[in-house]
Amino acid sequence: MVTKISLGKSLYGALAYNGEKINKEQGRLLATNRIFNDGSGTVDIAKAMEGFMAFMPATVRTEKPVLHISINPHPDDVLTDTELQEIAREYLDRLGYGNQPYMVYKHEDIDRHHLHIVTINVDESGRRLNQDFLFRRSERIRKDLERKYGLHPAERRGERIERPLHKVDTSAGDVKKQVGNIVKVVNRQYRFHSLGEYRALLSLYNVTVEETRGIVRGREYHGLVFSATDDAGNKTGNPFKSSLFGKSAGYDALQNKFARSKKEIKDRKLAEMTKRTVLAALEATHHQDRFIALLRERGIDTVLRHTEDGRIYGVTFIDHRTGCVLNGSRMGRGFSANALQEHFTLPFGNNEPITMTVPAEESAVSYTHLTLPTICSE
C-alpha cells in the first residue's frame, strides 16, 4: 500500500477533482465526516464546499489549509468497500484528523482502485493542526495498517521478491548447479513452517528434498538430500547431500528457518493477504482449473496432492507476493484439502454439497503443477 499527502490552497479544486470523477461514474463516495452525504454515492460539489466552509473561519493561520491524501492498495489486495472505509477512518484517526470534516472517495477509473481523501488541517478557530513529523507519522501508520489488514507492503529498494526460477532441466547438464541455485534462492526468499511446505515449494521447480537419519559413532544425526525430478515428481539421477550447497541448506539451518518463518508470518499477519485472494478465487468459480488460473494471475501458485483416483488430499499455496508458503489447513478449515474437494465437486444448481473425506495415508501421491513465470537464476 502506498500513501501520499499533498498540502494545498484550493479546497474547491480538490473537491471538484474528486467529485467530477464520482459523478462521471468513475468511482464512488465511500464515507464522509461532518459533511452531508445523501447516500447516493454521488457528490454535490457546491454543497460539499458549503459544508467544509462551515468549519473554516474567514481568516486561517496557515497558507495551505487543505490536505489531499491518496491511499493506494496493491492491485492484488482484495478489499471490500467496507474494509476500505475502515482503513481510511483508522488512518485519519491515528494521523490526528479523525474529528475533522472529510470526504473519502474511491476512484475506479484505472485498474488499480484507490482512495482519495479531502480534509482540512485547521480547527474552527483557524489555527493549524499539529503537522510535526506528519509524513513520518503517515509512514508508520501505513506499515501498521499493512500488517493489520494483511496488505501487500509498499515496495522498497532491494525488497522486491524475485520471480520464480526456471525448473530443473536435466537435459541442460550440470544438474547439481541447477538444484543448488534453486535451493539457495528459495531458502532466502520464502517463508515456510514445515518440511512438507518446503517440499511443495521445491516441487514447483522439479526438485524434492528428503530427511535422512542415522547413527554415527553412537550419535544420532539428521541430514537432508535433494534430488531433481521430472514433471510428474519422479526422481531422476543421483541425490545431492545438503552439505554440497553450504550450511544454509542443511538440516539445522532449515529447523531455524521453520521457527523464524512461523514467527514472522504470525507477527506480521502475512497469511491474511493470501487468504483474501484465495477466498476471492473460490467465490469466483467452482472449476478447479479456473481457480488455479485465477490464483496464478494474482501471484499465487497452487500445489495440489491427489490420490490415485484423483481426489485432493493436500493443498499448498505459494504466494510469490509475500514469499509465504502455506498449507491450506494452516489457513483455516475453509481452505483445507477436504473443503477444496467439496468445492470443486459441487454440482451446478441448488443441490447439497458432496462431502468427501480422503485419508492421506491410504493412497499414493501425485502432484499437480502450474506453468511458471521465469527469472534469471543467480
**pLDDT of the residue at 346:** 62
**pLDDT of the residue at 81:** 87
Return d(Cα 344, Cα 360) in angstroms, integer.
18
Beta pairing class for 312-319 and 324-327: antiparallel
Does the structure show a pLDDT above 80 at 98?
yes
Q: Which of 196, 193, 194, 207 is nearest to 164 (CA)?
A: 207
Q: Which of 189, 190, 225 is nearest to 207 (CA)?
A: 225
Cell of 148: 493489520
Q: Residue range 343-371: average pLDDT?
A: 51
Query: What is the amino acid identity at position 291?
Result: F
> Which residues neighbour 15 within 8 Å (Cβ) at sequence distance 6 or greater?
43, 45, 48, 49, 52, 103, 118
Residue with cell 541447477: 178
**pLDDT of the residue at 112:** 74
Mean pLDDT of the chain: 85
Return d(Cα 236, Cα 66) in angstroms, integer.
66
Nearest-5° angle of CA 294, CA 295, CA 297?
65
Q: What is the pLDDT of residues 268-318, one digit of tens each?
A: 888 998 999 999 999 999 999 999 999 998 889 999 999 989 999 999 999
Q: What is the pLDDT of residues 112-134, one digit of tens each?
A: 789 999 999 999 888 889 888 89
Domains of the chain by start residue, with CATH: 2-149 (3.30.930.30), 170-267 (no CATH), 271-368 (no CATH)
**pLDDT of the residue at 111:** 62
CB 107 within 8 A of CB 115: yes
Does the structure show a pLDDT above 60 at 353?
no
Statement: the pTM of the whole predicted model exceeds 0.85: no
> Which residues neighbour 152 within 8 Å (Cβ) at sequence distance 6 or greater?
1, 73, 74, 76, 77, 146, 273, 321, 322
Of the pLDDT bands very low, low, confident and very high (cuts 50, 70, 90), residue 349 is very low
Return d(Cα 286, Cα 270) in angstroms, integer.
26
Q: What is the DSSP string of 205-225?
A: TTEEEEEEEEEETTEEEEEEE
Phi-psi map region of 40: left, alpha, beta (phi>0 left; psi -120 to 50 alpha): alpha
Q: Which of 168, 2, 176, 158 is nearest to 77 (CA)?
A: 2
Q: What is the pLDDT of residues 185-218, one digit of tens each?
A: 899 889 999 999 999 999 999 999 999 988 767 7
CB 265 within 8 A of CB 322: no
Q: How many CB atoms lie under 10 A from the CB of residue 232? A: 9
Q: Residue range 95-121: average pLDDT?
A: 91
